[in-house]
Amino acid sequence: MAGSDSQVQTVKMVITGPFNAGKTEFIRTVSEIEVVSTEQNISSDAEKVKQTTTVALDFGRLTIDKSLVLHLFGTPGQRRFEFMWDILAEGMLGYILMVDSTRPETFREARYILDTFSDHSDTPFVVAVNKQDLEDAWDVEDIRHALRLKDDIPVLPCVATEMKPVKNVLLSLLHIIQKRLEEE
Amino acid sequence: MALQGNLRDFPFAQLLNLVNLARKTGMLEIIQKGETAHVYFRDGRLACALMANEDSSLASVLYQNQRISPNLYRAIKNKGGAIWDKELGLQLINAGFVSRETILNSLQQHHVSVIRRLFTWQEGVFRFIPNEPPPEDKIALNMELENLIMEGSRHIQEMEILMDELPNLDVSLKFSERPENNLRKVNLTVEEWKVVSFVNPKNSIRQIAQATSMDDLQIRRVVYGLLQAGLVEVLKTEQARQLPQTQLLPNQSKDEQRSLVNRLITRIRGL
């Protein structure tokens, strides 16, 4: 999205992925403002690996320069919030699919989300496999196979709480966007 | 890095698919209700499949397959001391009791029977230990996994799993582009061949089901097997394929677009 607000242009990126993949943490790491999260306590037993979850969206912001601002939106991970995805996805420059490397039970959901997004838009994206610092994390290439991702789709190791891997994911996405713009 | 989890979340067919695609070498251990299975792979092929609490010695396998007599089996067992399968195999071949082919076929049947049982496990903790070789005394085989995956997929009855794996029947299929992919080496049923004959980006799975008179469960099961065996790939829906390329920054000139992305890159690099 390229919007204009008092001559300040905004562009939007979306962070999507299954429940508890680390979307909020990712945005928190890079955002210059306290992430605006609409969270509530989790009621479902199956989802009680954390206390709260995003029910509407996360919002983070990064000032690029005097006239450009990057907005980062996190989408709720659960399918019951699927109606939100289209709204958030509209006008995005690119998106990041976050996957929890330690929870293979969420891989199917991740693939479903990716299929849904790619069915509605051909916007550039990368896959960030989060929690790679944990002992029980699956290997990046194993996750690629588990999600049936082709070799040309970037699958990047990530630790959403650390700046370096988060930067790497964002830069990888931007380089794809850059390439795409050259081709247009 | 760990390749571990529960079959409840990541079924055995998908594990085999992953091992096959990634050409993995190592040992897959699965534990379920006190039963433990050890499955060994070399370069994505099955080398050996053993149940921990069962006698999988060559003598026992040959005896169960009625390839050696009860007397010979007893004689081997009474000989005392552990005799390696490799050594026993050579002795039996040299003595003319069995042929090399008989030994390999019997072991193959045994390993396949273990794999078949694992396909019925709905739950079970698994972990993959990379580069763990089969026990030294065992004769390692070199079996391709596609047939085993296809066979295991034929027995899936749970519509829920199939729905999750293949939620949309209005997508089409194409043959996998993997160079090692070869349909001729896979044993397909008549039903599966019928489906394969209609694989074409122009045909949706729903249309293939109609043409082959299959219901939703049947067509999902066949396609699931073909997908897991890496023989076909799902193509996006016709609607998605026809999506015009989204203009990322529609109201800006080429130079403005370049400048914007470069500014984003510079800023993020500097974080």
Report the pLDDT value the prediction gives residue A80, as an integer from 0 to 100: 65
As a whole number, the mean pLDDT across chain B is 88
Check if the beta carbon of residue B249 is closer than 8 Å to that of residue A2. Answer: yes
**Phi/psi of residue A86, each to 5°?**
-60, -40
Contact B165 A105 (CB under 8 A): no
B5 to chain A, closest Cα gap in Å:
7
CA dist A142 and A157 (Å) reads 12
Residues B13 and B139 in one domain: yes
Over residues A53-109, the pLDDT tens digits come to 555 578 899 999 999 999 999 887 666 666 776 777 777 899 999 999 999 999 988
Which candidate from A119, A124, A138 shows the least CB-CB separation from B236? Answer: A119
Are the C-beta atoms of A21 and A105 separated by less than 8 Å? no
Q: Flag whether pLDDT at A5 surpasses 60.
A: no
Number of domains in chain B: 2
Confidence of residue B251 (pLDDT cuts 50, 70, 90): confident
Which residues form the domain of B233? 156-241
Q: Quick one: B78 and B192 in the same domain? A: no
Regarding whether B201 and B167 lie in a shared domain, the answer is yes
- Tens digits of per-residue pLDDT, A43-68? 555 555 556 655 557 889 999 999 99
What is the predicted pLDDT for the residue at A134?
Answer: 95
On chain B, the residues whose CB falls within 8 A of the CB of A68 are 260, 263-264
Of A65, A93, A175, the CB nearest to B248: A93
Dihedral pair phi/psi, residue B31, rounded to 5°: -120, 130
Confidence of residue B250 (pLDDT cuts 50, 70, 90): low
| Alpha-carbon gap, residue B76 to B71, rounded angstroms | 9
Each residue of B194-211: pLDDT tens digit?
999 999 888 999 999 999
Nearest CB to B267 within list A2, A65, A141: A65
CATH code of A3-183, in short, is: 3.40.50.300
State the nearest Cα–Cα gap between B161 and chain A, in angstroms: 10
CATH code, domain with B197:
1.10.10.10
User: How close A77 comes to chain B (CA, Å)?
Assistant: 16
Interval B78-132: pLDDT, tens: 886 678 898 899 999 999 999 999 999 999 999 999 999 999 898 999 999 999 9
